[in-house]
Amino acid sequence: MSPLLKEIRHNPLLWLLAFVPVVFAAAKLRPDAHTLLFVLSVLAIVPLATLLSHATESVAAKTGDAAGGLLNATLGNLTELVIALTALRAGEYMLVKASIAGAIVTNTLFMLGASFLLGGLKHHVQEFNRVSARMQAGLLFLATVALLIPSAVTTADSATQVAFTQQLSVGLAVLLIVAYALGMLFSLKTHRELFASAEHADEGEAPWPIGLALATLAGVTVLVALVSEIFVESVQQAAETFGMTPAFVGFIVVALVGGAAEMASAFSGARKNRLDLSVGIALGSASQIALFVAPVLVLLSYVIGPAPMSLQLWPGAVVMMLIATLTAALVTNNGRSAWFVGVLVLMVYLVFAMTLYLLPPRVH
């Protein structure tokens, strides 16, 4: 336990952990104070995310960056999965779909771009393993194609079309899950050596013991999930108070807070010149949401939802996903980065965010 307490004592950010019990108490005592709950839940998620980042790095130090990135993406996306499952049970399929598309776009553009920028401000030119980045970009491309095709071949909204879209969605969901599983077999087993890191920076901190790291990972993930639920319940109304459109909330706000844990890890990796870790988290997380979380939700909608959910998205969301995937493929192509690459990627994200912020509500 002592490395954990020592960490908390030395890192002022972790003192925000005090807000975790506060947000639970507030949710119990004043369940309708949405703006208060929104602020408190964000304040509680930040230190939890920081703690998660340290624990993941400790595990990653033992397992290599690619496997560490995968591990981090898996645990980090529990937040998104919990959020989406809550909305699914309530039948709010528009919110589920917006948060899925938003998480993919935010991870691909904001997390990757900010990692490049933060790393680039400290290091002149950074290198990373492009084999790993290419595989994740390839998986993302496949997922984008699978989400694009139902919209591309159908236009009308007749009963035949709905039945066709529903059948197709189940088939595509199974395909995506199979592709995701084969991708893990490839990167963790048959071609593991290709995914080794490009180079390792020297590490200042001693990693935690593996047992403590794993226990912290598990415990903090549960806390993040619980706080996230309070966040989701409050965000929609709090956002309206701040004058944001529903499209902006679903795509940008939920995705940014939902991915806070992974972002802390990715940005810290970039500053430490371990860009493999950052790229692995950003693209790995995006492809996991696209190829695992989204299809699982489609299949689960038959069990726990009020009606089946399809993979058909709002056309604007498909265009944004396609552009995000293309951007990721172009910038990770040569395995090198500098600060301006990060600026370019963030600018694409800003174009999307600005569009969604100004979008008149009915269009969405």
Q: Taking the complex as a whole, how short is the minimal distance between the CB of residue 80 and a second copy, in angstroms? A: 23
- The distance of closest approach from Cβ of residue 315 to a second copy in the complex, given in angstroms and rounded to an integer, is 7
Minimal distance, residue 251 CB to a second copy, in Å: 12
Of 150 and 305, which has the nearer Cβ to a second copy? 150
**Which is closer to a second copy, CB of 238 or CB of 320?**
320
Nearer to a second copy, 27 or 341 (CB): 341
Q: How far is the CB of 186 from a second copy (least distance, A)?
A: 4
In the complex, the smallest distance separating the C-beta of residue 341 from a second copy, rounded to whole angstroms, is 7
Name which of 13 and 174 has its Cβ closer to a second copy: 174
Contact 257, 82 (CB under 8 A): no
Q: CB-wise, 74 or 161, nearer to a second copy?
A: 161
Q: How far is the CB of 148 from a second copy (least distance, A)?
A: 8
User: Which lies closer to a second copy via its Cβ, residue 62 or residue 191?
Assistant: 191
- β-partners of residue 126 are 337
Report in angstroms how near the CB of residue 9 gets to a second copy at its nearest: 38
Q: How many residues does the chain have?
A: 364
d(CA 167, CA 225): 32
Instruction: Please report how close the Cβ of residue 316 comes to a second copy at its closest, in angstroms.
Output: 4
Cβ proximity to a second copy: between 39 and 344 the closer is 344
CB 146 within 8 Å of CB 311: yes
Residues that bind a second copy (CB under 8 A): 124-125, 134-135, 137-139, 141-142, 145-146, 148-150, 152-154, 156, 160-161, 164, 167-168, 171-172, 175, 178-179, 182-183, 186, 190-191, 194, 315-316, 319-320, 323, 326-327, 329-331, 333-334, 338-341, 343-344, 347-348, 350-352, 354-355, 358-360, 362-363
Closer residue to a second copy in complex, CB, 117/264: 117
